Amino acid sequence: MQLAFPLRTERLVIRPLSMGDVTRHHEIYSNPDVVRYLYDRPLSLPAAQEHLARRCKVDLPSGDGWLNLAVEVEGEGVLIGELGLSLVSEVHRHCEIGYVFDPAYAGHGYATEAAALMVEVAFSAMGAHRVSGRLDARNDSSARLLERLGMRREAHFRENEFVKGEWTDEVVYAVLEDEWRLAHDPAKSFAFRV
């Protein structure tokens, strides 16, 4: 199943990634500050090409794949960040979101606005019961984003992953559909359809 692209929020346009995004994808993923708390190391251009090619999908996620999407500011036509959505469990109706933004566009609430749309897609288009976000416990800006979305900090796992040569703590945030519905009216905040 596909969403009707482009998706829109108040300030943003959200669309599938394409190989035409490779220059910006490389600029973002070659930045050590961006990948610090990701599984990736800074990507070379060839690595960024392969990385992007795996992300040029348009279908809502099923199985263990992710749907990754491009984010632009309305009217500017520049890739400022990327979103991810995965189906963690069909049985438990659990989805997970992810996001990676260019620090040049930080501090305007763009990542929060875009991530909110992904949560809405998970509940409305994928029938999720619970949406979560996982992060390195040191990733304070990501934790603040999930808190702005109204997610609850549910777990802090001590040294449960070995990432880029070190043991790392992982934090999990989540929100349930009824909690999200109490706080968000999709008719006012989002414009998308399946």
Ligand X SMILES: CC(C)(COP(=O)(O)OP(=O)(O)OC[C@H]1O[C@@H](n2cnc3c(N)ncnc32)[C@H](O)[C@@H]1OP(=O)(O)O)[C@@H](O)C(=O)NCCC(=O)NCCS
State the virtual CA torsion across 178, 13, 95, 60 in degrees, nearest 10. Answer: 120
| Near ligand X by CB under 6 A: residue from 76, 109, 164, 183 | 109
Q: Does 101 bind ligand X (CB under 6 A)?
A: yes
| Near ligand X by CB under 6 A: residue from 85, 111, 122, 174 | 111
Residue-level length of the chain: 194
Q: Does 164 bind ligand X (CB under 6 A)?
A: no
| Near ligand X by CB under 6 A: residue from 118, 119, 131, 135 | 135
Is residue 191 helix, strand or coil? Answer: strand
Q: Does 144 bind ligand X (CB under 6 A)?
A: yes
In 17-116, DSSP assigns E strands to: 66-73, 79-89, 94-101
Contact track, ligand X, 47-76, x by CB under 6 A: ------------------------------
| Near ligand X by CB under 6 A: residue from 139, 151, 168, 180 | 139
Query: Is 69 within 8 Å of 81 (Cβ atoms)?
Result: no
